């Protein structure tokens, strides 16, 4: 399968694929085949908060219809005692054409 992974960071890509497959399985989406799942993008390392350029992620689209990405994985690298949590929101198209916003608090 194609891979964006390589070099010394390959273990990170492998772990992200494991997490994507696990999320897909636990959520019951049925999007990924563990034996065929592969990275479709280069990893993006970003920093957010008052000391950086962006205090938070804004609404954005991870993938378009033609994009091979089926599941996105976000890894927070903060120390557990420094993590303040936050709100994850995702727009989900409904069968009737409406868009529902699903929210998860962390």
Supply φ then ψ for residue 102, to 5 degrees: -95, 135
pLDDT(103) > 50: yes
Angle at 46 between CA 53 and CA 52, to 5 degrees: 20
Give the model's pLDDT for residue 1: 45
pLDDT(61) > 90: no
Cβ-contact 70, 31 below 8 angstroms: yes
Mean pLDDT of 71-80: 82
Burial class (CB in 10 A: 0-12, 13-18, 19+), 71: buried
- pTM to 2 decimal places: 0.68
């Amino acid at each position: 399968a194609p891979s964006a992974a390589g070099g010394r960071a390959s273990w990170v890509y492998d772990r992200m694929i494991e997490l994507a497959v696990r999320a897909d399985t636990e959520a019951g989406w049925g999007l990924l085949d563990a034996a065929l799942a592969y990275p479709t993008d280069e990893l993006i390392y970003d920093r957010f908060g008052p000391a950086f350029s962006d205090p938070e992620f804004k609404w954005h689209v991870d993938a378009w219809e033609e994009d091979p990405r089926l599941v996105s994985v976000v890894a927070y690298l903060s120390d557990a005692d420094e993590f303040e949590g936050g709100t994850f929101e995702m727009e989900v198209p409904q069968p009737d054409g409406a868009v529902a916003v699903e929210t998860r608090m962390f």
